[in-house]
Chain A
Amino acid sequence: MKNKLKVLRAMNDLTQQDLADKIQVSRQTINTIEKGKYVPSTLLALKMASVFQVNVLEIFEIEESDWS
């Protein structure tokens, strides 16, 4: 799964810590999601979308390899 979290953070001028605080997770969690090492729950994805005021699909994108 690809994500545009880093770009969206930069556009909204938020650090990893800022975003983490807004959605009640640790900075490490944001970091692992950004690196694509951890796939967040639907709830967390929706919270992020709500913070950036975008659609979830504008943050996360499914890849071919996710289907196998």
Chain B
Amino acid sequence: MLRIMKNYLFPNKYKKAGLLLFIVGFTLFIMGLFFNVDVELSFLDIRMPVIMTNPLFSGRQYFQMVETNISIHLIILSIIIGGLMFGFSKERIEDELISDIRKSSLIWAIYFNYSILILSLFFLADFDMLMMTVFNVFTLLLFFIIRFEWKKHQLKTASHEE
């Protein structure tokens, strides 16, 4: 009966691909942001339809075609999809203890992420505050993954057979 219940997880084989996507995306993101590496590929300059746009010197417009470079879109997509695949693929043996650790790690990550956001609300200003909200696109996933992997590691090292 339990086997047909949805657990919202990907098969185990997605885990490695997820990690790869996540690392590649994250590396490109950091390089572009902090090391002034040009991560925009010119062939990704496209015209695409958007629901809403708010250009600098004119008012908000709806249902427009805009010219944009979608490199950063793809990088963020790769971080999010990769992170979801890595964090939410089944373990080799996905038993109830692992589910338990997974859920508590998720709760912990949500608390931790919002704590960081609240702190930055009061201790960061202007552009840095804006940066923090940008980072928040994937920090929740990142904190969850770190916590989950750490707890699994602890479980492994603490359970040598006596």
Binding site for B on A (CB under 8 A): 15-16, 24-29, 31-32, 38, 40-41, 43-44
- Enumerate 16 A-B pairs (CB-CB under 8 Å) in ascending A order: A15-B161, A25-B97, A26-B91, A26-B93, A26-B98, A27-B161, A28-B97, A28-B155, A28-B159, A29-B95, A29-B96, A31-B158, A31-B159, A31-B161, A38-B100, A44-B96
Check if B97 sits within 8 Å of A26, measured CB to CB. yes
Residues of A within 8 A of B2 (CB): 43
Residues of A within 8 A of B156 (CB): 28
> Which bracket fits the contact residues of B?
10 to 19
- Smallest CB gap from A16: residue in B: B161
CA distance A32 to B96 in the complex (A): 12
- Determine which of A15, A24, A25, A27 lies in contact with B159 in the assembled complex, contact meaning CB atoms within 8 Å: A27
Chain B 3-47 interface mask (CB, 8 Å, partner A; 1/0) = 000000000000000000000000000000000000000000000
Check if A32 sits within 8 Å of B161, measured CB to CB. no
Residues of A within 8 A of B159 (CB): 27-28, 31-32
CB distance from B157 to the nearest CB of A (A): 10
Residues of A within 8 A of B93 (CB): 24-26
Residues of B within 8 A of A27 (CB): 159, 161
CA distance A44 to B156 in the complex (A): 20
Chain B 63-102 interface mask (CB, 8 Å, partner A; 1/0) = 0000000000000000000000000000101011110100
